[in-house]
Amino acid sequence: MARDAGMKRIILLGATGSIGASTLDVVRTHRDEFRIVAASALRSRARCEAIAAEFGARAYIGENAALRAVEENDADICLVATVGASGIAPTLAAIAKGMDIALATKEVMVMAGELATRKARERGVRFLPVDSEHSAIFQCMGGDVHAQGVARLILTASGGPFIDSPADLSRVSVAEALNHPRWKMGPKVTIDSSTMMNKGFEVLEARWLFDVDTSRIDVVVHPESIVHSLVTFADGATLAQLSPPDMRVAIQYALSAPRRLASERESLDLASLGALTFRRPDETRFPCLRLVKEAAARGGCATAVLAAADEWAVAAFLDGRIAYTDIARCVERSLEAAPHFACESVDAVFEAARWTTAFLSTGGQAR
Ligand SMILES: NC(=O)c1ccc[n+]([C@@H]2O[C@H](COP(=O)([O-])OP(=O)(O)OC[C@H]3O[C@@H](n4cnc5c(N)ncnc54)[C@H](OP(=O)(O)O)[C@@H]3O)[C@@H](O)[C@H]2O)c1
């Protein structure tokens, strides 16, 4: 197919998921701006083929589909919206081919942020944040992840179901932990939201996306989830981004930045919102926030150890094998016991993850 000048070609990885659907909506509204050239899914064959037919794209389905979609197509932007570590290899392949990366899959930065951002710098490609907090920061920076004069980043967090009670978190049941007050999400991310590990992952994502040390990234609890995040600049000014919670705002900006495209979406009615509230998170109650910063300070693949330990521990909690408060304990013990893994290659990242799973599977947290 001939290439239209100015039209951005997009490879959409994870096209059949929630972010994929929102991306397709954005493209439908702006067919003169964006074209999907390839779409991938893991299992949803019929849905992926329907997407390909609607958008004149190639469909890729299966275990290695995301990687093949990148290897067999050229595009301006690769939008990565698969789940977990599966996003790492296709992201690195897209960088090697010179594509900008619109990133939804935070594990790419949590587990391989140092490697991925180094490769992107060497190849001269951009990371375009899709996660709503990181999009907010990106928007406050005027669409430049390396904006000048940034003093601090402030990520907002809804706080999850256990922000104030119960006093004793060790007795929290699986059903209670899965009952998020604001969003319906998959079980892993719901538990991660309740322990605030998910916010910790976002701190790491911000660390690499914006090249800001974790000591200059704050988390503030904001239960209304209207302010998506903020940036404090060197002159003391703080800019915030506010919008109704709709991932299409963030996705559209990732694809168009620094331009803003029109949309029919509703904007905020501030007077009807009334008050917006903010407070500090309690790191004693939510030790995962502290562990994330400790892992970042250790360097190498320590954050891959952190992510793998959390994955193992959340699964064990959901299976009834460990208590809720053991999730953070598993992560802490793994970080203490892990050898230093230099983060030189994607193999090193997966080796660190495998070491962690083996450590916890053989009772490491109790040693
Ligand atoms: N949803 C949100 O609002 C949101 C916000 C910020 C960040 N994120 C992040 O964005 C990513 C996508 O989220 P989502 O909510 O769109 O997830 P989702 O609804 O579960 O969709 C995941 C997509 O990835 C595919 N997929 C799943 N496992 C895969 C694997 N191992 N290898 C390759 N493809 C795989 C799925 O294909 P099948 O349909 O065939 O299973 C589907 O197309 C996640 O990392 C999430 O944390 C999501």
Give me the residue label for tokens 């180094």: 118
Beta carbon of 93 within 6 Å of any ligand 1 atom: no
Residue 19 maps to a domain: no
Paired strand residues for 231:
153, 239
At residue 266, the pLDDT reads 87
The pLDDT tens digits of the residues spanning 294-307 come to 999 999 999 999 99
Give me the residue label for tokens 């990885």: 13
Percent of the chain with pLDDT over 90: 90
At residue 37, the pLDDT reads 98
Residue 307 maps to a domain: yes
Beta carbon of 104 within 6 Å of any ligand 1 atom: yes
What atom of ligand 1 comes closest to residue 44's alpha carbon? Answer: 40
Highest mean pLDDT out of 3-7, 13-17, 166-170, 344-348: 13-17
* 51 Cα distance to chain centroid: 24
At residue 264, the pLDDT reads 87
Residue 244 maps to a domain: no
Q: Is the pLDDT of residue 328 over 70?
A: yes
For a substitution probing ligand 1, which of 63, 70, 82 has the most ligand atoms within 8 Å of its CB? 82
CA atoms within 13 A on the CB side of 80: 29
Total domains in the chain come to 1
Q: What is the CATH number of the domain that holds 167?
A: 1.10.1740.10
Residue 190 maps to a domain: yes
CA atoms within 13 A on the CB side of 132: 20
Beta carbon of 66 within 6 Å of any ligand 1 atom: yes
The pLDDT tens digits of the residues spanning 61-89 come to 999 999 999 999 999 999 999 998 999 99
What atom of ligand 1 comes closest to residue 107's alpha carbon? Answer: 45
* Residue 231 identity: V
Q: Is the pLDDT of residue 94 over 60?
A: yes
What atom of ligand 1 comes closest to residue 61's alpha carbon? Answer: 40
What Cα–Cα distance (Å) separates residue 29 from each residue in 52, 98, 103, 252? 17, 26, 21, 10
The pLDDT tens digits of the residues spanning 112-142 come to 999 999 999 999 999 999 999 999 999 999 9
Residue 17 maps to a domain: no
Residue 312 maps to a domain: yes
Percent of the chain with pLDDT over 70: 97
Q: Is the pLDDT of residue 5 over 70?
A: no
Residue 275 maps to a domain: no
For a substitution probing ligand 1, which of 83, 190, 199, 249 has the most ligand atoms within 8 Å of its CB? 83
Arithmetic mean of pLDDT, 278-286: 95
Residue 93 maps to a domain: no
What Cα–Cα distance (Å) separates residue 49 from each residue in 55, 57, 90? 10, 9, 20
At residue 183, the pLDDT reads 67
The secondary element (H helix, E strand) that includes residue 46 is: helix 45-55
Beta strands in 150-237 (DSSP E): 150-157, 217-221, 227-233
Beta carbon of 81 within 6 Å of any ligand 1 atom: yes
Task: Return the ∠ at Cα 154 (arms to 149 and 157), rounded to 5°.
Answer: 165
The pLDDT tens digits of the residues spanning 189-246 come to 899 999 999 999 999 999 999 999 999 999 999 999 999 999 999 999 999 999 998 9
Q: Is the pLDDT of residue 48 over 80?
A: yes
Q: Is the pLDDT of residue 1 over 60?
A: no
Q: What is the mean pLDDT of the chain?
A: 95
CA–centroid distance, 83 to ligand 1, in Å, is 4
Does the model's pTM come out above 0.75?
yes
Domain encompassing residue 324: 160-195+282-360
